[in-house]
């Protein structure tokens, strides 16, 4: 069936991309921990905190979250409460999961689109951070990129659930 083939094709695209983004997110998280540790150490030992460390940490956080979401969805790591659906037969479960994926996909398509529009506006206005004057738009673009890859993973799941629901 074409739905399962489409799901396999999206897996070929989304899986390595989500893994790379997750690796980037892990590296950024490690950098954030090191920066915070050094900042706290310098603040209390030498009374010399790192200028703008709070700002840098703020900019690292959307990268960690947005780049980790797609891998979490790929690994089926998101929280699910299937108290009622687990007692249903396979086909109704697949139908309900398809509907949930459709809603989720619609939400993250909107997030991706609005993030791109927001980044475009920030480019035109030249919005920067207050202390270090770092441009904000690359981090909003990172959120839209992470959301777009998450959309691919959810679309793959949608095709997979639809093929299960339509299977005889």
How confident is the model over 8-39, as pLDDT tens digits? 888 899 999 999 999 999 999 999 999 999 99
Residues sharing a CB contact under 8 Å with residue 145, sequence separation 6 or more, in sequence order: 21, 66, 67
Range of the domain at 129: 2-166
Confidence (pLDDT) at 99:
93
Residues sharing a CB contact under 8 Å with residue 94, sequence separation 6 or more, in sequence order: 161, 162, 164, 165
Q: Report DSSP state, residue 87.
A: G
Give yes or no for a contact between 85 and 93, defined as CB atoms under 8 angstroms apart. Answer: yes
- Segment holding 114, helix H or strand E: helix 90-125
Enumerate helices (H) and strands (E) in the chain, giving the number of each.
4, 0
Asked which of 11-20, 65-74, 75-84, 136-145 is least confident by mean pLDDT, the reply is 75-84
Mean pLDDT over the full length of the chain: 92
pLDDT(43) > 90:
yes
Asked which of 4-13, 42-51, 120-129 is least confident by mean pLDDT, the reply is 4-13
Q: How many domains is the chain built from?
A: 1
* Residue 135, beta-bridge partner list: 128
Q: What is the mean pLDDT of residues 133-148?
A: 96
Q: Distance between CA atoms of 112 and 114, rounded to whole angstroms?
A: 6
Whole-structure pTM value: 0.90
Q: Distance between CA atoms of 54 and 51, rounded to whole angstroms?
A: 8
Give yes or no for a contact between 96 and 88, defined as CB atoms under 8 angstroms apart. Answer: yes
66 vs 6: which has the higher pLDDT: 66
Phi-psi category of residue 81: left, alpha or beta, with phi > 0 → left and psi -120 to 50 → alpha: beta
Q: Distance between CA atoms of 59 and 48, rounded to whole angstroms?
A: 22
């Amino acid at each position: 069936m074409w739905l399962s083939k489409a799901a396999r094709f999206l897996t070929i695209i989304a899986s390595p991309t989500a893994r790379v983004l997750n690796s980037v997110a892990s590296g950024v998280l490690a950098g954030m921990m090191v920066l915070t540790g050094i900042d706290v150490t310098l603040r209390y030992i030498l009374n010399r905190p790192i200028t703008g460390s709070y700002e840098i940490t703020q900019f690292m956080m959307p990268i960690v979250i947005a780049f980790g979401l797609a891998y979490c969805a790929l690994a089926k790591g998101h929280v699910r409460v299937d108290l009622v659906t687990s007692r249903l037969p396979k086909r109704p479960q697949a139908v309900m999961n398809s509907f949930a994926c459709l809603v989720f996909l619609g939400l993250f398509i909107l997030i991706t689109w609005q993030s791109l529009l927001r980044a475009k506006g920030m480019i035109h206005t030249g919005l920067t951070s207050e202390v270090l004057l770092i441009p904000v738009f690359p981090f909003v673009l990172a959120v839209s990129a992470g959301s777009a890859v998450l959309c691919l993973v959810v679309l793959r799941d949608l095709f997979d659930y639809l093929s299960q629901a339509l299977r005889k």
